Chains A and B, each alone.
Chain A
């Protein structure tokens, strides 16, 4: 898994490249710790290069959301592949997360 971060004004874009599964989700959690400990208020997680997520990946994304909510920040997901998006729908996690088709749309009107 490759993780990259960039700034778009006051929005942190968290780019994930690769599968988010039982073996790689701890790495994502650890990388996100830095963003959360800096109390970053606006975060977009770009999943355009993620074609596979398992239940531990979903759990880690939920943890990330809970963490950002704990200090009043907002986290949005962008560019989910159709099968990945379907997992959010099946598990009703689309009720929990703000999900956008593109990074640009996610970054607008925070």
Chain B
């Protein structure tokens, strides 16, 4: 199963895009815990893409690629920005950063998804979730 979406860079558009993905996940009967993780990580990725990548320019789109292959969900989020170095994001769990107002999005993505990759430029994030269980469709009687 594959789906591609494009989202104009307005935070209000995030909900609709995520809802489309959630509908597909429900169709696959994804575990509630995995659903929560995927929803959160997708939203965090979209917020960053809109806010920092495309700088709220509504003429610039964020592209989402969703694929379910075997028991893995692959989601890529790409903005039109110049990219960023995810290794330079401060660790929000350090004592001196706990009271930070923001900066936990990338950290949550790295901890809730099983695989996280950025392209070289830093404007495309790919996240993979290994699902706990996908309920198989009942086999037809022969």
Contacts and interface: CB of A to CB of B under 8 A. Distances in A.
Interface of A: 21-23, 52, 54-56, 58-59, 62-63, 66, 83, 87, 90-93, 95-96
A67 to B, nearest CB: 11
B99 interface: yes
A93 B33 CA distance: 20
Interface residues of B, number: 25
Nearest to A53: B40
A56 B46 CA distance: 13
A20 B40 CA distance: 11
Contact of B98 (A55, A83, A95): A95
Interface of B: 11-12, 14-15, 33, 36, 39-40, 43-44, 47, 92-93, 98-105, 107-108, 111-112
Q: Is the interface of B mostly helix, strand, loop or mixed?
A: helix
A62 B100 contact: yes
A55 B105 contact: yes
A95 B99 CA distance: 11
